[in-house]
Structure 1
Amino acid sequence: MSLRQRFGRLRRSEAASGLILVSPTAIFALLLLAAPLATILAFSFWSQDYLTIDKSFTLTNYHEAVTQPLYSKLIWRSVRIAGAVTVATVLLAFPIAYFVSFGVSQARKSMWIFMITIPFWTSYLIRVFLWKVILGYNGVLNTTLQGLGIIDEPLSFILYNANAVVITLAHAYAPFAILPIFVALEKIDRSLLEASRDLGEGHVTTFLRVTLPLAMPGVVAAVLIVFIPTIGDYVTPRLVGGPNGLMIANMIQTQFLKLNNAPMGAALAVLSMLLVAAIALVFVGVNRRFLRGPK
C-alpha cells in the first residue's frame, strides 16, 4: 500500500474524524489557556527594572516569594479564607439542594432552580457593594440590631476584615455550589432509599450511608468550583477586606500594575496555581479513598 493510500485511509478513519471535530476546541484552548499560562511561566523566570525586562533566566523571584514573610502570609491567608468560604458555602448549599431535590415536586423544581440563579442577573461588583452597605458600621445589619436593642453599639468585626470577605464570597458563589450538588442528588435512584428503609434503616442512617456517599461527586465538584476561584479573587478583598482581608491576588495585581514588576507577580501567580493544584489533588485523592471505603 502506497503512502498516499495510507494517508487517505487514515483521513477517513474514526480517529481522524474525531481529531477534526476536536481541533477547533483544542486550538481555542491552546490560544486562550495554554499560551497565557506559558507566558506567565516564562515571565516568572525573568527580571524587570521599571519598564525594561531582562530575559535572562533567574530564580530570584521564586526565592524572594518563598523567603519574604509578607508573600507567605498572604498566600496562607488566601488559603484560609478560601477554605472558610468553601466550607460555609457547601454546608449552606447542601440543605438547599437537598430540599429542592427531595422536598419539591417535579413540576416546581425548574422554578426553584430559576430562583437560585437570580443573583446572576446582577453584576458581581454590584453585589459586593451591596454587602458593603449591609455590613457597614452604619449599615443595614448594625442599624437593625441596634433598633431591636440586641446591641448597644455597631459591630466593627463584620467589615474590612477576613470575616466580610468570607460572607461576601459565600453569598456570591452559593449558586455554584447548589447546582452541582442538586444534579448529583437528582441522579440518585430513589428505590435505593426505599430499600434502605425497608431493611430497617432510619432516615438519618439512610442519609449517611446511602444519600451522602452517592452525592459526594456533586459535593466534590462544588468544593472545587468554589475553592479554586475564591483563592484568586481580588475584587472582594479590595472592597470589603481592608488591610487584614487582602489576599495574594491583590499582591499579584499590585506587582503587575503598580510596582512594574511583572516577573515577581508572575512568580507569585505560578506558586499560587501550584498550591491550588496540590490542594485540589489531595482533596480528590482523599475523597476517592473515602468512597472506596476500607478494604
Structure 2
Amino acid sequence: MSALRRHLPAVLVLGIPLAWIVLFMLVPYGILATYSFWLKKYPTFVPAFQFGNYLTLFTDPQYVLVLLRTIKISLLVCLASLLLAYPFAWFLVYRCRSAQIRTWLYMAVIAPLWISYLLRAYIWKTILGTEGVLNSFLIWAGIIETPSSIFLYNQFSMVVTLTYIFIPFMVMPIYTALEKIPANLNEASADLGLGPWRSFWRVTVPLSMPGVAAGFTLTFCLSFGDFVAPFLVGGPDGNLIANVITTQFGSALNWPLGSALSVVMLVVVLGVVSLGERVERRSAAGGF
C-alpha cells in the first residue's frame, strides 16, 4: 500500500496522458487499419482480411496520380516557404538591431495563426479571383485588358495559398535555430579569413539545419494533409489525397478504400517525420 501511495503521483501524471493517447490515437488508428482490409459490398462493407484495397491504390493510375500530386504540392510549398522564411529569419536575427521592431515583425508572421484557417484560405480566393486585387491591379497597370482566370483554380493558387497559411511553421523553428548560434562563431570565421558569404554557407547554414529540418517537417505534414485549400482554390485538377479520403468516407461510402488511403498517408507522414528527426540529430552532432 505504501509503495502504491508513493508511486500514485507518477501514475496519475503519466497515466492520464497515456490513456488519452491510447483512447484517442492508438485505438482509432487500429480501427482505421482494420477497416483497410475489409471489403466493400454494396450498400455497405464486410469484414475480411485481404490486400485488395492497397492493390487498388498502387495499380489504379488515378490514385497514384493523386498521391504524386500531393507530394509534389507539399514539396513546392516547403520550398517556397523555405525561400521566404530563411531570409526573413536571418534578417531578424542578424540585421534587425531594434528589439521592438524585431518583435513586431516576428508577431506579424505569427499573428495570422490567430485568424480562422478558412478565412485565410478564402482571402487568397478573393485576391486571385477574376474580380480580385491581383486582376484589378494588372488592369489598372495596363498589363491586361480583361480579368484573367489563370491565377485561380490551379496548382499555382494552391501553392500560394498553402505557403501563406503554413509559412509561420517554417519561420519559427528557423528563427529559433539562428538565434541559438553563438555570435562569436561568425566572428571567428571572419578572423580565419572567410568572407560573409562563405561564412554564411560554412557556419550559419549548417548550424541552422535543425531548424530547417523541423520547419520542413511541419510544413510538409500540414500541407500534405490539407483538404480545405484545394477545395477552395484547387479547381477540378486540384484534388489532393485528403480530398479523396473525404470523398471515400462521404459520398462514395467506401470506408475500406478510404482507410487504406489514410494508412498510406500516415506512413508517408511518419516517414517524413523520421527523416526530419534524423537530419536534426545529424546536424546537431555535426553531420552537416
TM over 0.5: yes
Q: For residues 13 and 82 of structure 2, what CA distance do their matches in structure 1 show?
A: 37
Task: Give the direction of change, closer, same or farther, for the CA distance of 1:286–1:104 in structure 2 (3 Å limit).
Answer: closer
Q: Which residue of 2 aligns with 1:159?
A: 152
- Residue 114 of structure 1 and its aligned partner are, at CA, apart by 2.0
Q: CA deviation digits over 1:103-130, x for unaligned, max 9?
A: 2236323333222212123211111111
Which of 259, 267, 272 is matched with 2:252 structurally? 259
Residue 76 in structure 1 maps to residue 68 in structure 2: yes
In the alignment, structure 2 segments of 5+ residues that lack a partner are none
Which of 186, 201, 224 is matched with 1:208 structurally? 201
Which of 273, 278, 282 is matched with 2:271 structurally? 278
Which of 56, 61, 66 is matched with 2:53 structurally? 61
Q: Are the equivalent residues in 2 in contact too, given 1:161–1:244 (CA < 8 A)?
A: yes
Residue identity (%) = 39
Q: Which residue of 1 aligns with 2:30?
A: 38
Which of 93, 99, 105 is matched with 2:97 structurally? 105
Q: For residues 155 and 84 of structure 1, what CA distance do their matches in structure 2 show?
A: 24
Q: Are the equivalent residues in 1 in contact too, given 2:210–2:279 (CA < 8 A)?
A: no
Q: Are the equivalent residues in 1 in contact too, given 2:121–2:229 (CA < 8 A)?
A: yes
Aligned length in residues: 285
Q: Determine helix, strand or coil for the equivalent of 2:40.
A: strand
Which of 179, 186, 190 is matched with 1:186 structurally? 179
Task: Give the direction of change, closer, same or farther, for the CA distance of 1:189–1:249 in structure 2 (3 Å limit).
Answer: same
Letter in 2 for 1:98: W
Q: Determine helix, strand or coil for the equivalent of 2:244.
A: helix
- Residue 33 of structure 1 and its aligned partner are, at CA, apart by 1.7
Q: Determine helix, strand or coil for the equivalent of 1:53.
A: strand
- TM-score normalised per structure 1: 0.89
Which of 227, 242, 263 is matched with 1:234 structurally? 227
- Residue 277 of structure 1 and its aligned partner are, at CA, apart by 2.7
Q: For residues 205 and 220 of structure 2, what CA distance do their matches in structure 1 show?
A: 20
Which of 268, 289, 292 is matched with 2:287 structurally? 292
Q: Are the equivalent residues in 1 in contact too, given 2:248–2:258 (CA < 8 A)?
A: yes
